Structure 1
Amino acid sequence: MEPAPAAVEPAAAPARPPHEPMSLPRSLAYIGASLLIGLTQGMAQGFVSTNIPQIAGDLGATVTQASWLMAAFMAPRAAMPLLLIKIRAQYGLRRFAEVAILIYAAVAVLSFAILDLRSALLVQFCSGMASAPLSTLAFLYMLEPLPPAWKMRLGLPLVLATSLVGPMLARVVSPALMGDQGWNGLHLMTLGMAGVALGLVYLLPLKSPPRVKAIAVLDLVSWVLIAVGFGGLTVAFVMGAIYWWTEVAWLGWIMALSVVTLTLAVVIELHRKAPLLDIRWLVSPAMLHLTITLLIFRLVLSEQSSGAPRMFQVLGIMQGQLVGLFAVISAATMLGGLALVPVMKPERVPLFHMIALLLIAAGAWMDSHSTIDTIPAQMMVSQAMIGFAGALFMAPAMMQGLLSALARGPNYILSFIVIFVSTQSLGGAAGSGLFSTFINHRQALHLQILREELSATSPQLGQAIAQRAATLAGQIGDPALRKAQALAQIATDASNQAYVMAYNDAYRLTGLVAIAALCALILHLWRDWLVGRLPVLRHPFSRKLDPSETRP
């Protein structure tokens, strides 16, 4: 569910024509097109991640094999925005929009040709590439009708909240769409939304700045290296917890290849006169601070995508029973974006981040008291707080990075996009993988402890078996079979209890990380306040030496 920030460039590009006011109906049409395109992109990703078990059944594959569909969709998206900016600048904004949405609609039609896992993997890879421009188009259509004063204040929070809501809404509508049609129901929904978006793009053209020759040969070389590196890391993070990190050698080789290709890209960019990315600026203290902030938030927000849904899946709760929970999360996320509109200013960014961290810490702490009897309704408040916090964080963080990039010139927007895309796309995949890894490790530990407590000689185990067997007396006549069935039920309950305890550990860890990030933010703000109040600290080496103090 990561948005591509590339589209904000038109708000600052000096070659863009001045803003011309639109009529209210036409402005609403552009905003509606933005919302639809953003939801189309987000729901396409959510349809796959939400329904992996059902899709595996339709394809005759295992859940592990079907998980490659998610990796195939996410891998090409990590680096696509870098190339899309260059393509848009060289070939024109209007042509870019029309071709991009046409390709996405064509891929949506191609989805009906899926016959097996191999064809599904190919289509998902193409779908990941084709959907990458949609988040860009969502930004462009949101910013097109707005006057400059409202592009950051209204456009940015609204379109980012929409991008975050897409995967959540996919969980809301998926149970009704799957029905008896299986995966084809999802394809029909995707195709329908793509068709409407296609019509809107042709009916509502975007204004294009003058075209410039933007693509150089070394740009393509660097982009290929970055795409291989980001794609390899995405695959490793998505599949690492499934195959387990140390069990298969190819995970290590993929990560090693990613490190090599990214290193080569950095070397090439450092020796170019007109680089695709300004590596020196990217590793400056200010940008490193922003990168760490974005990454930490992306990691802690993985609790919502990898925590509650998977815990309820372990407890046997079906997707249809989670519709209400994710409807509430979707509403809270949109409210988080709208809450920023009247108050968002650059100087208030730290305050928004502090509030978001407090909400995430409080929500994670509330979730950490889950039991095997917890139902989705009991987590609505905590998950709504986390959804609200995600929207409250995203737009101010992006605004801060864009203003920092624009202060140095429009060309630095590309470099900022690398930070935003890598932290959101790779950070999301890494957060999910690390969350699942932690859960698996803690579940094994808790299960071992529970098994030791329920040893064969334990009187509690004998009493539990007798009680379970008594409840099964009306269903199973054989005493030996009743005892075996009771023992199997107790083992299942112990496994579920171990999983819930592991998820509680993960929720607590998420809360602790949020609190630690909040403390670090407060210390950083205090340091900045001291530097502003004490000139000596601001310029510790500015005092000139007296000539008598110098040595010959």
Structure 2
Amino acid sequence: MLYATSAAVMALGSGLGNGMITANLASISGDMGLYLAEANILLAVYVAFNATANLMLVKARVQFGIPATMHVVLGALMVAQVVQILHPTLGTAILARAVSGLASGGLTTLSLYNIFQVFPVKTRPVAAVIGFSLPQLAIPLARMFPLSDIAPLGWQGLHMVELALALAAWAMLNLMPLPPVERGKVFEPLDAVTVMLTIASMLLICTVCALGRFYWWTDAAWLGWMLAAAIPMLALALFIEDRRERPLLLVRWFGTKEIVFFILVAIVVRLALSEQTYAAIGLLTLGGLTSDQLHPLFATVMVAMAAGIATVALTLRPDRVVPTIMTAALIIGVGAWLDTHSTSVTRPPELYLSQALLGFGTTLFLGPALLFGIGQIITRGPNYLVSLIVLFSTTQNVGGLAGSAMLSTFQITRARVHSERLAEALSTGDPAVVERIGIYARLLETRVADPILLRQQATGLMGQALSGQANVLAFNDTFWVVTILAFGIASFIAGVTLLARLKAGRAQAQQVTR
């Protein structure tokens, strides 16, 4: 029971702080004197360091031990949060997000280790599913955190929450020690080169994904220069690893058909899951709802995600991994399809079912996807573990950021198209348009005496209503994209599975005839 509690604390520590910052970024970025576009650099830094954390931490745990490694990481996290609280600047905030992303990777693994102590050895696959799925519950929980409790302290209130979580994780690490593991000298000089090149390239890629829609992809030349620098650096890191005798990353393994299948499915499903974090929230925010009004919705999502974890834990078997992933994609597709019928008056109760399906599909997908990857390394040996963890973390973290970037870009583009079409369809001589402008004018006439100015402001309100409707239609288009993606990947998995079975059947028939 104590190890289960420790696992829950570690899981919350790995994701709750960043989830709260992501959920409230638009509301509190002004507290630091930043535009929203500038504040998004904090998300990019966190994702980049979180995606690459295990490049450093896996070997550190082997050479120095789990407790020593995590004491250093948690100590750095607490120091970074205290510095940010005492001296709040953009530079210290970036430092805090970098260390937080690194610590999150370590805390996720610690949560898994603690869960392993709860279950017997024969049920370790179930423990792995639960351990990697628990941090996902921090995302809806962050959306349920009352903004009024941290608002008096502004941005610093969120750093205090992260500091408290780090202290709780540090306390549990000391109270509930893990069994000792075999240690040895594993670090090599070239590890540092690979780590630095990978982190630098990921920082550039994540920055482009986070800021592209704000500065617009084709308008800011520096976005292109960032990508132009990131790709060669990442390629050089992979080239170095491919030529090493004892590499951190087994690059050629990434090119096998099983891992390509794994990468494709993981990225596409992660893109689809961005529907919940960007599109659904964007639609409700467009309707004027605040974070505090979405608490019941995310309570429903959290229950659904917990149900997904329980379902996988109770039903998963090696022969069910791929069908479970396909089922998760279908459930995500159904949830996104339900949202395609949204209107300007859609409110959280209308989204309970669809978002619950997406939450259920999230945790139904994560565990089996991880076990699919683990199944690929069982016959190859533990040397492949670092490559798998880094690959899985990258597809989920960078994939989520890229998914939001893709969906937001599509939504903005479609909103412009719908706005133009609606404007073309309306005429100032249309009786319905004249009547609506008249309604707006009567609402304003007590405050605006000049009839010309009154007419202009009423027409402006009409334009705002048109823009709002165009954005709603664009969000519906975005939901359709997610629906097609989810159903498409489910069909792809079904096709690959059927083809594999047909090949196996033909091979078996040929053996019988011989």
Which TM-score band (shorter chain)? over 0.9
Kindly provide the CA deviation profile for residues 280-300 of structure 1, in whole angstroms up to 9, marking residues without a partner as x. Answer: 111011111111111111111
Match of 2:409 in 1: 437
Distance 2:436 2:229 in 1: 53
Match of 2:123 in 1: 150
Match of 1:16 in 2: none
TM-fit CA distance, 1:482:
3.5
TM-score by length of 1: 0.89
Q: What one-letter code is carried by the residue in structure 2 that aligns with 1:267? A: F
Instruction: Kindly indicate whether residue 348 of structure 2 is the aligned counterpart of residue 376 of structure 1.
Output: yes
Instruction: Kindly indicate whether residue 284 of structure 2 is the aligned counterpart of residue 312 of structure 1.
Output: yes
Contact 2:83 2:92 in 1 (8 A): no
Distance 2:166 2:249 in 1: 33
Instruction: Kindly indicate whether residue 137 of structure 2 is the aligned counterpart of residue 165 of structure 1.
Output: yes
Contact 2:32 2:155 in 1 (8 A): no
Question: Comparing 430-439 with 229-238, which one deviates more in the overlay?
Answer: 229-238
TM-fit CA distance, 1:51:
1.2
Match of 2:32 in 1: 59
Match of 1:535 in 2: 507
**Runs of at least 4 residues off by over 4 Å:** 473-478, 536-539
In the TM superposition, 1:238-253 aligns within 5 A as: 238-253=210-225
Q: What one-letter code is carried by the residue in structure 1 that aligns with 2:415? A: Q
TM-fit CA distance, 1:123:
2.7
Match of 1:186 in 2: 158
Q: What one-letter code is carried by the residue in structure 1 that aligns with 2:64? A: Y
Contact 2:77 2:96 in 1 (8 A): no
**Residue 211 of structure 1: SS of its match in structure 2?**
coil
Q: Please, which of 115, 119, 142 is the counterpart of residue 88 of structure 2?
A: 115
Contact 1:81 1:132 in 2 (8 A): yes
Q: Please, which of 73, 92, 97 is the counterpart of residue 124 of structure 1?
A: 97
Distance 1:50 1:537 in 2: 56
Contact 2:419 2:470 in 1 (8 A): yes
Contact 1:54 1:182 in 2 (8 A): no
In the TM superposition, 1:295-444 aligns within 5 A as: 295-444=267-416
Across the two proteins, how many residue pairs are aligned to each other? 513
Aligned-pair Cα RMSD in Å: 2.0
Contact 2:415 2:474 in 1 (8 A): yes
Contact 1:532 1:538 in 2 (8 A): no
Match of 2:18 in 1: 45
Q: What one-letter code is carried by the residue in structure 1 that aligns with 2:40? A: S
Q: Please, which of 275, 278, 281 is the counterpart of residue 247 of structure 2?
A: 275
Assess, with a 3 A threshold, how the Cα gap between structure 1 residues 517 and 249 changes in structure 2: closer, same or farther.
same
Match of 1:517 in 2: 489
Question: Comparing 422-431 with 112-121, which one deviates more in the overlay?
Answer: 112-121
Assess, with a 3 A threshold, how the Cα gap between structure 1 residues 537 and 368 changes in structure 2: closer, same or farther.
farther
Identity over the aligned pairs, expressed in percent? Answer: 31
Match of 2:187 in 1: 215
Assess, with a 3 A threshold, how the Cα gap between structure 1 residues 116 and 265 changes in structure 2: closer, same or farther.
closer
Match of 2:437 in 1: 465
Question: Comparing 388-397 with 468-477, which one deviates more in the overlay?
Answer: 468-477
Instruction: Kindly indicate whether residue 421 of structure 2 is the aligned counterpart of residue 449 of structure 1.
Output: yes
TM-fit CA distance, 1:122:
3.0
Distance 1:97 1:68 in 2: 26
Question: Comparing 424-433 with 226-235, which one deviates more in the overlay?
Answer: 226-235
Contact 1:47 1:174 in 2 (8 A): no
Contact 2:204 2:227 in 1 (8 A): yes
Contact 1:107 1:130 in 2 (8 A): no
Distance 1:53 1:415 in 2: 35
Distance 1:534 1:114 in 2: 69
Assess, with a 3 A threshold, how the Cα gap between structure 1 residues 221 and 506 changes in structure 2: closer, same or farther.
same
Distance 1:115 1:101 in 2: 20
Match of 2:260 in 1: 288
Contact 2:17 2:162 in 1 (8 A): yes
Match of 1:30 in 2: 3
Distance 1:324 1:171 in 2: 10
Contact 1:332 1:388 in 2 (8 A): yes
Question: Comparing 334-343 with 155-164, which one deviates more in the overlay?
Answer: 155-164
Question: Comparing 220-229 with 494-503, which one deviates more in the overlay?
Answer: 220-229
Contact 2:48 2:398 in 1 (8 A): no
Instruction: Give the unaligned 5+ runs of structure 1.
Output: 1-27, 544-552
Q: Please, which of 39, 56, 79 is the counterpart of residue 83 of structure 1?
A: 56
Kindly provide the CA deviation profile for residues 291-340 of structure 1, in whole angstroms up to 9, marking residues without a partner as x. Answer: 11111111111111111112222222111111111111111111110111
Distance 1:186 1:269 in 2: 38
Question: Comparing 93-102 with 257-266, which one deviates more in the overlay?
Answer: 93-102
Kindly provide the CA deviation profile for residues 211-233 of structure 1, in whole angstroms up to 9, marking residues without a partner as x. Answer: 11111111221222222222221
Question: Comparing 273-282 with 30-39, which one deviates more in the overlay?
Answer: 273-282
Contact 1:311 1:500 in 2 (8 A): yes
Q: What one-letter code is carried by the residue in structure 1 that aligns with 2:157? A: G
**Residue 348 of structure 1: SS of its match in structure 2?**
helix
Distance 1:438 1:502 in 2: 8
Q: What one-letter code is carried by the residue in structure 1 that aligns with 2:305? A: T
Q: What one-letter code is carried by the residue in structure 2 that aligns with 1:187? A: H
Instruction: Give the unaligned 5+ runs of structure 2.
Output: none
Distance 1:127 1:287 in 2: 29
Match of 2:69 in 1: 96
TM-fit CA distance, 1:443:
0.8
Assess, with a 3 A threshold, how the Cα gap between structure 1 residues 537 and 217 changes in structure 2: closer, same or farther.
farther
**Residue 408 of structure 1: SS of its match in structure 2?**
coil
Match of 2:463 in 1: 491
Contact 2:143 2:298 in 1 (8 A): yes
Contact 1:236 1:251 in 2 (8 A): yes
Match of 1:21 in 2: none
Kindly provide the CA deviation profile for residues 428-449 of structure 1, in whole angstroms up to 9, marking residues without a partner as x. Answer: 1111111111111111111111
Kindly provide the CA deviation profile for residues 371-417 of structure 1, in whole angstroms up to 9, marking residues without a partner as x. Answer: 11111111011001000000001001101101211210011111212
Assess, with a 3 A threshold, how the Cα gap between structure 1 residues 538 and 361 changes in structure 2: closer, same or farther.
farther
Contact 1:172 1:327 in 2 (8 A): yes
Assess, with a 3 A threshold, how the Cα gap between structure 1 residues 119 and 418 changes in structure 2: closer, same or farther.
closer
Q: What one-letter code is carried by the residue in structure 2 that aligns with 1:447? A: S
Contact 1:161 1:336 in 2 (8 A): no
Instruction: Kindly indicate whether residue 117 of structure 2 is the aligned counterpart of residue 139 of structure 1.
Output: no
Question: Comparing 53-62 with 390-399, which one deviates more in the overlay?
Answer: 53-62
Distance 1:460 1:122 in 2: 55
TM-fit CA distance, 1:277:
1.7
Distance 2:225 2:443 in 1: 53
TM-fit CA distance, 1:538:
8.3
TM-fit CA distance, 1:457:
3.9
Distance 1:111 1:130 in 2: 16
TM-fit CA distance, 1:102:
2.6
Distance 1:123 1:275 in 2: 30
